Amino acid sequence: MLGLETIWELLQFDFMRNALFAGVLVSIACGIIGTFVVINRIVFISGGIAHAAYGGIGLGYFLNFNPIFGAIFFALLSAFAMGLVVRKTEQRADSLIGVMWAVGMGIGIILIDLTPGYKADLMSYLFGSILTVSQENLIIMLVLDIIIVLIVSLFYKEFLAISFDPTFAITRNVPVDNLYLLLVGAIALTVVMVMQVVGLILVIALLTIPAAIAGQFLKDIKYIIIASIILGMFFTTVGLIISYFFNVTSGATIILVSGTVYLVSLGVKILQNSR
C-alpha cells in the first residue's frame, strides 16, 4: 500500500522532484488559462496551437538549439495568426485551426527528417515525458508561468468583459481584438508548458478538464481558477505516482486520472440536477 514513507522515498530522486515541480507549474498555468479557454469555448484552438508548435520543435532540432524555444516561437506565431484571421475575417475557425495544425506538423516532420543523427527524445514532445523534465526546462516553465500570471492579473477584468459580452466591451472602448490576441498568446505559452508534461497530443485534456470540472460546481471565475489549479496539481501528482509504480507512460496516466474524475463529477452533477 502506498504510504507517506514511500512518497518520501520517491522525493529523494532528482527526476521525481523535477517532475512534481513541473506538475505544479503546469497546473498553475492550466488553471488560469484553461478557465478562459473553457468559458470562451475555444478549446480546440489550444489543440491547433499545440500541433502547429511541432514546427518549432523541428526547427530547434534542425538548427541545433533547445526545441522548446522553437515551440514557443511557432506557438505564438500560429496563435496570433489564428487570432487575427478569426477576428478580422469570416473564415471559419475550425478550418483555420485545421490548416495551422497540418502546416505546423508538416514543417516539423520535414525539418526533423532533414536533421542528421538519432533524435532520442523526440517522442516526449508527442506524448509527454514529465519524468525527464530538465532543470533548464523547469526554469523556462517558471518564467512562462510568471508571464501568464502577470498578463491575467493586469487584464483580468478586460478578459472577463470580452469573454462574457464582447459587444458591450466594444461599446465601452475596450480593445477587444488586442485583448483577444493577448489571450491566445497566453494560451500558446501554456500549451508549450503542457506539451512537456503530457505531450502535444494530450494538451487539450490537461488544459481544459480541471476547469470543466470546477465550472460544473462553481460560478465565480476566481474560485474556478483556484479549484482548477488544485485539481491540476492533484491529477499530475497522482498520475505521476501511478505511472512510476506501474511503469506506464506518465502523460497518458495523468490524463486518464483527470478524465476519470471528470466522468465521476459529471455523474454527480447529473444526480444533483435530477433531484
Count other C-beta atoms under 10 Å from residue 23's C-beta.
25
More confident residue, 58 or 121: 58
What per-residue confidence (pLDDT) applies to 251?
Answer: 85
d(CA 117, CA 180): 41
Burial of residue 114, with CB atoms counted within 10 A of its CB: 0-12 exposed, 13-18 middle, 19 or more buried: exposed
What per-residue confidence (pLDDT) applies to 1?
Answer: 47
More confident residue, 3 or 8: 8
Q: Is 64 helix (H, G, I), strand (E, B) or coil?
A: coil
pLDDT of 4 over the 60 cut: no
Could you tell me where the DSSP H helices lie in 40-154?
43-52, 54-63, 67-88, 93-114, 122-127, 135-154
**Predicted TM-score of the model (pTM):** 0.88
- 35-57 pLDDT, tens digit per residue, is 999 998 888 788 888 888 989 99
* Closest listed residue to residue 212, CA positions, set 25, 41, 26: 41
* Closest listed residue to residue 98, CA positions, set 62, 51, 57: 51
Those residues with Cβ within 8 angstroms of residue 253's Cβ, 6 or more apart along the chain or in another chain: 239, 240, 242, 243, 246
More confident residue, 226 or 140: 226
d(CA 181, CA 166): 14
* Closest listed residue to residue 83, CA positions, set 57, 53, 46: 46
The CATH architecture to which 4-274 belongs is Orthogonal Bundle (1.10)
* Closest listed residue to residue 261, CA positions, set 222, 193, 200, 205: 205
What per-residue confidence (pLDDT) applies to 5?
Answer: 58
pLDDT of 8 over the 90 cut: no
Looking at mean pLDDT, say which of 42-51, 143-152, 195-204 comes out highest: 143-152
Grid cell listed for 268: 454527480
Q: Around 71, how many Cα atoms within 13 Å sit in the side-chain half-sphere? A: 29
- 80-130 pLDDT, tens digit per residue, is 988 887 777 755 667 777 887 889 889 988 998 888 876 656 667 777 777
